[in-house]
Amino acid sequence: MAKYVSSLLGAAASTTANSPNLLVEAAATGAGSVLAIHELSLSGEASSSTFVRFVLNRPSARTVGGSPTTQVPQPLNPGSRAADYTVYTDLGSSTNAVTAGTVDLLVPAFNAFGGVYTWLAAPQGEIIIGTQGAGIGSQVVVLYSKSGTPTVSGHFIIEQM
């Protein structure tokens, strides 16, 4: 099972689920249709004390249209094949709609004035995305801020199962 990294570099935190900072979407079927998030790390770049409360959420509905930025997940092992899932960033410039789900999977909250948040999955505690096309709520996760808009950088480590 190959692991990949996707990142945010100097991104202004988005406070709307409609234009999340990052959207990870499993493939509908076949390779890349089941993913496991092993790590999420975010670091603040604010120039003064600024609290930010991100959420990792499974949306209940989503449409990606327009021209969002597609990020190519990079394999941690250079011998691994290309990822079969999709990562979008900068969805604010697209015509998309993401309806946030009612439960947030993670709530990375920290002071973005040099603060760091890192979540590492416990063994067998990975966040699973996708279950062979079982519906949008299981195929997609989004990362956005529920409060605060500072600049942040960070990464996800995701296993394609």
DSSP characters for 80-143? SPPPSSEEEE-GGGS--EEE--SSEEE--EEETTT-EEEEEPPTT-PEEE-SSS--HHHHEEEE
Is 108 in contact with 118 (CB distance < 8 Å)? no
Please state, in angstroms and rounded to a whole number, the distance separating the CA atoms of residues 29 and 41: 28
pLDDT given at position 64: 66
Going by C-alpha positions, the residue among 3, 24, 14, 9 that lies closest to residue 121 is: 3
pLDDT given at position 97: 66
CB atoms within 10 A of CB 141: 28
Average pLDDT over residues 40-52: 96
Supply φ then ψ for residue 88, to 5 degrees: -115, 140
pLDDT band at residue 93 under the 50/70/90 scheme: low
Is 140 in contact with 28 (CB distance < 8 Å)? no
Mean pLDDT of the chain: 88
pLDDT at 69 over 80: yes
- pLDDT exceeding 90 applies to what percent of the chain? 60
